[in-house]
Structure 1
Amino acid sequence: MRQIGPDGVETLPRIAVDVPGAPAGCRAALVERDRWEWRPVDGGDPAALAQRFLAEHGLALDDLARPAGRHGAHGVCGAALYVSAAAGALLTGGTPGAPTPTPTLPEVAVVVYGHAVARRAAGGAVRRPAGGWWLGDWAPSWTSRQHADAVRAVRDAIGRGDVYQVNVVGHAAARYTGDPLPALARLGALPGARYGGVLTGSGWAIGCASPETLVEVTAGRVLTRPIKGTRPATAAGRADLLASAKERAEHVMIVDLERNDLARVARTGSVRVDDLFAVRRWCDLWQAESTVSAVPADGLGLADLLRAVCPGGSVTGAPKLAALEHIAALEPVGRGAAMGALGWVAPDRIDLGLTIRTAAADADRLHLWAGGGITWGSDPDAEVAEAAAKANPLRAALAAG
């Protein structure tokens, strides 16, 4: 059912390039030139190593305040960049959390793409194993009661003054047979999936339906769009979200955290909130989103940018380092491909999505993560229900076909 590479390693079939954030006009003509993957056993600073690898391929990202010109029709186009939540925690000096349930996935991956001489038909690289698609039942890594108990533990920590907010995430896995890539690609078609797309490697694949911008650098500004606050996508749900003092307080707390993150890499006095608590739709949910932007400081490189924004504040909490300690203590399974970064980097543009609403495949299982931010006003049962509501559209898309 699966390819066996020349080194004898079982690999997933490849699809045409569909990396989140890749230039739409180039996707059908992109070919992989080289890749670099990092795991903790490799040692070194993965952010610095990634920046160096990109520079070796003509993608200089050492001064984002002075972007290079646009790429031409020939040569290197740009690169996919993936950073796991665990790698992000290490970059910021925090606790990486429980072991990942997807050890075949790297913690950081950079894939450099160039333009093919002749354009390929989109999807022409898909190889579909015989036997069709089958997805088994989802097995969660904790029960609803354990999830609710974790929410209570966070509320207790808030009561002690240890933290103000902590994002709690659950995991589930399901066995599959057939080709997982079309299933993962379906996630990108979900309504509101700003960072819909797929990234593949040897024995692993990531499918993303994220609506959230972790960091974007374009037109001389660096920005982030944190999402925090969720309700059903009904008229009553929208009104309830706009009127909720609890959701607004939780949201503003993360906006302040993101302002501080950007201030570390911005020109002094340039950080601003462009949009606050705007209600957007993702599938059958309303979510509150803000936009925070700044002018990048002179000499800001990709490595320092990643250290400042990873992992995203909306999926950690405040203060960030203290929240990471509680996450590591409470979550029984690592976040794997979720709650990290995935997108496109090039000298003229960086666009990385936060990998919420994200699934991953290894050789025989699909993995899915979902959760939410916990504050003093959180209700444990409501938080469990919210995580399920976020996961349900992804489960339905993955099971289709």
Structure 2
Amino acid sequence: MMGHGPVGVEALPYLMRVPAAPGSCAGSLVERDRFEWRLGEPGDPAALIEQFLAAHGLPVGDLARPGGAGHHDDGPCGAALFVSAAAGAVLVAAPPGAPNPAVAVPDVAVIVYGHGRPPAPAPSGPVDWWRGPWQPSWTAQQHAAAVDAARAAIARGDIYQVNVVGHAAAPYRGDPLPVLARLGGLPGARYGGTIAGAGWAIGCASPETLIELVDGRLVTRPIKGTRPATPAGRTELLASTKERAEHIMIVDLERNDLARVARTGSVRVDDLYAVRRWCDLWQAESTVSASPADGLGLADLLRALCPGGSVTGAPKLSALRHIAALEPVGRGAAMGALGWVGPGRLDLGLTIRTAAADGDRLHVWAGGGITWGSDPAAEVAEARAKAAPLRTLLT
């Protein structure tokens, strides 16, 4: 994968779709500046993100004040923002976990876009692309053993729930960006799109909202609970006591996270345990919202919400410590935040159903929430089902 200088729409032979970017600007986005940060580098990543965006004139210092309904052609349109799960753990003083297997992917990427001439259409011709076999970072037996270890921690009272995530990588040759871009076309990919840098790229098909600011309300939509997208699967998901209890536990966690940055008494559950479809799966989703506290800046919002509760567990800090001990490789591009920050617009998705490319390998991650009632074999099968649509498209 080649990378020389800023990688933006201008540098690509096709139109890059940035997750959650304004659709009306999709044909004219041009990279103006970027900031990247990796574990071990100095500084507080949340503060650095806010400072960088503010320096480009984006209103992120007080999210309770309207930032304007739009933008001017000669100013910034907005910025793509990626925060890894490891960076999120750092923000709450938790262990960041095992090393990132996609070594070139940063832990923070902020790409500021302005408006310019759309890129030239890609020339037609044969596609030089090859992908080798997937190699998991652990076996099904090791994954199941991690589920058993998580259940033992729950039995001891260390945690109530924890998310356990697996990883697989495959070698490739060719340009990974057009392949990663296919993920954005998956049904239910609310945060479908790609971002890229020197030697790395991320493709997202996430259906889950980590945090959105709309009409003066902060909104999060945690997803927890999965079944095959069949009539029987939907009925089973709606009737499952285990899935509903796990889901409500995460809704309560998200309510508490939002309450830390919300006006007193403004947090509410707008929709509880609604069943939505993503590809060949039913998933349970709730909507929790709140009014931002006066003076709430983006940095404090990221510290409160990252990493997302539906991919960590409860209590969050204890769950993160167990995740660091249980997972053999880092979460890389997955289980973090990716989306758009602009005038009057904040919309970040949780990077589930997400893949990444570094210099010579593609990477995918998938997992699920573990409770005392979890069956290890079923959890392994669920993670495989979540990863299957991504693996199929990355061919």
TM-score range, shorter chain: over 0.9
Alignment of 1:284-323 (within 5 A): 284-323=280-319
Residues 128 and 178 in structure 1, CA contact (< 8 A), matched pair in contact too: no
Q: Which residue of 2 aligns with 1:22?
A: 21
Under a length normalisation based on structure 2, what TM-score does the superposition of the two structures give?
Answer: 0.96
Residues 15 and 181 in structure 1, CA contact (< 8 A), matched pair in contact too: no
SS in 2 for 1:137: coil
State the distance in 2 between where 1:78 and 1:135 align.
34
SS in 2 for 1:35: strand
Q: CA offsets, 1:265-294, max 9 Å, x none?
A: 000000000000000000000000000000
AA matched with 1:372: G
State the distance in 2 between where 1:29 and 1:234 align.
40
State the distance in 2 between where 1:261 and 1:227 align.
15
Q: Which residue of 2 aligns with 1:96?
A: 96
SS in 2 for 1:231: strand
SS in 2 for 1:384: helix
Under a length normalisation based on structure 1, what TM-score does the superposition of the two structures give?
Answer: 0.94
The structural deviation recorded for 1:185 is 0.3
Moved over 6 A (4+): 127-131
Q: CA offsets, 1:350-373, max 9 Å, x none?
A: 000000000000111000000000
Q: CA offsets, 1:244-284, max 9 Å, x none?
A: 00000000000000000000000000000000000000000
Q: Which residue of 1 aligns with 2:349?
A: 353
SS in 2 for 1:76: coil
AA matched with 1:326: H
Say if 2:263 is the partner of 1:264: no
- CA 1:265/1:366 → structure 2, altered by over 3 Å: closer, same or farther? same
Residues 130 and 178 in structure 1, CA contact (< 8 A), matched pair in contact too: no
- CA 1:55/1:146 → structure 2, altered by over 3 Å: closer, same or farther? same
SS in 2 for 1:206: strand
SS in 2 for 1:95: coil
> 2:211 pairs with 215, 225, 246, which one?
215
The structural deviation recorded for 1:74 is 3.0
SS in 1 for 2:98: coil
Q: CA offsets, 1:196-216, max 9 Å, x none?
A: 000000000000000000000
Residues 338 and 359 in structure 1, CA contact (< 8 A), matched pair in contact too: yes
SS in 2 for 1:188: helix
State the distance in 2 between where 1:385 and 1:35 align.
39
> 1:138 pairs with 134, 143, 151, which one?
134
SS in 2 for 1:311: coil
Say if 2:41 is the partner of 1:45: no
SS in 1 for 2:109: strand
The structural deviation recorded for 1:14 is 6.5
State the distance in 2 between where 1:100 and 1:14 align.
29
State the distance in 1 between where 2:229 and 2:127 align.
37
Residues 99 and 333 in structure 1, CA contact (< 8 A), matched pair in contact too: yes
Residues 21 and 351 in structure 1, CA contact (< 8 A), matched pair in contact too: yes
The structural deviation recorded for 1:3 is 3.8
Q: CA offsets, 1:6-60, max 9 Å, x none?
A: 79xxxx9675331100000101101000000011232110110111111111112
Alignment of 1:95-174 (within 5 A): 95-116=95-116, 118-120=117-119, 124=121, 132-174=128-170
Residues 33 and 112 in structure 1, CA contact (< 8 A), matched pair in contact too: yes
State the distance in 1 between where 2:313 and 2:281 align.
22
The structural deviation recorded for 1:171 is 0.3
AA matched with 1:17: M
State the distance in 1 between where 2:250 and 2:189 align.
21
Deviation larger for 40-49 or 135-144: 40-49
Deviation larger for 67-76 or 359-368: 67-76
SS in 1 for 2:16: coil
Q: Which residue of 2 aligns with 1:65?
A: 64
Residue identity (%) = 72
SS in 2 for 1:292: strand
Say if 2:198 is the partner of 1:199: no
SS in 2 for 1:198: strand
- CA 1:368/1:129 → structure 2, altered by over 3 Å: closer, same or farther? farther
AA matched with 2:309: G
RMSD after superposition: 1.7
State the distance in 2 between where 1:130 and 1:173 align.
25
Residues 128 and 179 in structure 1, CA contact (< 8 A), matched pair in contact too: no
- CA 1:6/1:181 → structure 2, altered by over 3 Å: closer, same or farther? closer
State the distance in 1 between where 2:64 and 2:243 align.
35
State the distance in 2 between where 1:251 and 1:86 align.
23
> 2:363 pairs with 364, 367, 378, which one?
367
Number of residue pairs aligned between Structure 1 and Structure 2 = 390
SS in 2 for 1:386: helix
Say if 2:28 is the partner of 1:32: no
Residues 271 and 292 in structure 1, CA contact (< 8 A), matched pair in contact too: yes
State the distance in 1 between where 2:34 and 2:373 align.
45
AA matched with 1:41: G
- CA 1:171/1:283 → structure 2, altered by over 3 Å: closer, same or farther? same
